[in-house]
Amino acid sequence: MVKEEFEPGIRDPRKTRLIYGGIFLLVLIVLGASTLPAYRAFKKFRAHQMTEEAIIHLEKDNFEQAWEKAQTAYQLYPLDAEVARTAAKVYSRLDPSQAVAFWQEAYELSEDREDLIELIDAAILARQLDIAEENIKELKALGQPLGTAFYHEARLKLLEMDVTEAIAAAQQSLTEGGAPEDAPFLYIQLTQFSQDPAVRAEGIEYLRELARKPNTIGIKALRRIGAFPENTPDELREVIDAVNNHPARERNDLLYALELEMRLPDASAKDNLRKASELFNKDDLGELTEYGRWLNRQRRYGQTLEIITEKQALSRSDLFLVWADALAALDKWDKIGEVLSLSNLPIQRYQFLLFQARLYFETGQYDRGEFAWTRALLQVANQPRQLWYLEGYAMRLGLYEQARETLDRLTQLASTRREAYEKLVQLEQKHGSVESLREVLKRMSEAYPRDLMVKNDLAYANLLLNEEVQQSAEVARELVDDGSLFLANRITLALAYYRLGQMSKAAEVLDTLGIDWNQARPGFRAIYAAILRANGRTTDANKLLTNINVGALLKEEQELLGQTRG
């Protein structure tokens, strides 16, 4: 969404409407307008006023305030398309599973095509495939343009693991009008899932065609070509030249070309850094900050300290953070300690405590580091933006326990609860245990009792641990019997039969799916392979495990393979 900018001295017209709205309400009260129509008009006006406030907060990423305003507006005047739409927009950012019902209501009240498209998108993101399918049919029934309908059908078919139908729908979206800008890239992505080498080659050739376009699509295509791991030095040079000479190139694209150039065997770091330096006006502290960030991303911390003086760093917060991160990356902890002892640093108190905690952790003072981290958490209280800053900082440094603490705090806020739980799940999958993952899923299940995917994931965790097997088997059977097309649900049911000793039933659940198992998650392939081995089908199991990333398996998934290894 494009944010409106207003010149100094010119009032944002939305705020002007809010002020006049308040005057209008005061007049209404003074006049004693107590009739039912007037009261309804008052509620509608006030609700619309709060939806405008909610959108302003949403544009500024003030999710907690946006959620409160949208919720209050909906409670005040629910049967209104704009009110329902605003609630849907807020939930789309916070929790797509709850956004679906609001988009449904907005579309029923407005019959607006754009509301229907948003409903489909929310349903796909929330994995409510039956609702998505039903409304894609509705969108097609509305007639031209049909590109968006086939684009979302391609996304739906991919979730159903039907790659062939997904590719066909994506192709159709390109021939119809009105498809989203990223429709060509969805088609290309889908072709790479195909088992047919000719289809994969066709997708790459189409990507190369897009790269010749003189617009932003051409730049996006070039970036995707540059990301190919099999690129030769000559192919990389072709991409670099194409980006540097592209009519739609911007500074970030030229920096990307320099990053590609650094991967060449004959690359000159000195020349590349000189070229990057020429893209920034280093007399402008804002530009200097951006240049420092880029250098840090390239791990050129020494150059960051060369271009940013201590005096400059102490003059503004964003420059200080870039400069201090470079010091930390070079283990200059004595210098950081010296700087932190200064008064009037240009950073907020919680950022000071964060650097202090890192200083203590890095110098082996763990108790003091934990105390400083706790103080930082207390300092930010329930402010989502600052909490996310702490979480991101902890994850970058590998401070996973501190990241858990911060995410736990974020799960207590309505506006960040869903995303925080999802990040906790990812954290436990990568850096925790199945036991800790299950505890998070239990809490998430209590927070979202109607979320079927959470139910499934909790059942799967129980079955991996070989605990609560009967109860988890019932959950898995119920989800599949209700018509779920998700592979995750089928895997959970198959694992349930495996744990119950019903090996032939476990195989039956998966044998008839007809999917490309090479595109499935490594953990799912491991479960199916264990089931195949338990049924004496060792050759099929070994074929399924070809090129599997064992490092991506949970410990219990690896143990299942070990128990059935032939």
267-289 burial string, b = 16+ CB within 10 Å, else e?
eeeeebbebbeeebeeeebeebb
pLDDT at residue 13 in the model: 53
Averaged pLDDT in 10-residue chunks for the chain of 566 residues: 40 52 52 63 89 91 87 91 93 85 95 95 88 95 94 91 89 93 95 86 95 95 93 94 96 96 91 94 95 95 96 96 95 94 93 94 94 94 90 93 95 87 95 96 91 92 96 93 79 96 95 82 94 94 89 90 64
Contacts of 187 (CB under 8 A, 6+ apart): 154, 167, 170, 171, 173, 174, 203, 206
Helical packing angle, 487-499 and 452-464, nearest 10°:
30
114-to-48, 83, 509 alpha-carbon distances in Å: 19, 15, 39
pLDDT of 102 reads: 94
Residue among 468, 459, 467, 433 at smallest CA distance from 556 = 433
Whole-number pLDDT of residue 10: 44
CA distance 255 to 269: 13
pLDDT at 555: 92
Give pLDDT, residue 414.
Answer: 78
Whole-number pLDDT of residue 128: 86
> Considering the entire predicted model, what is its pTM?
0.75
C-alpha to C-alpha distance for 80 and 108, rounded to whole angstroms: 10
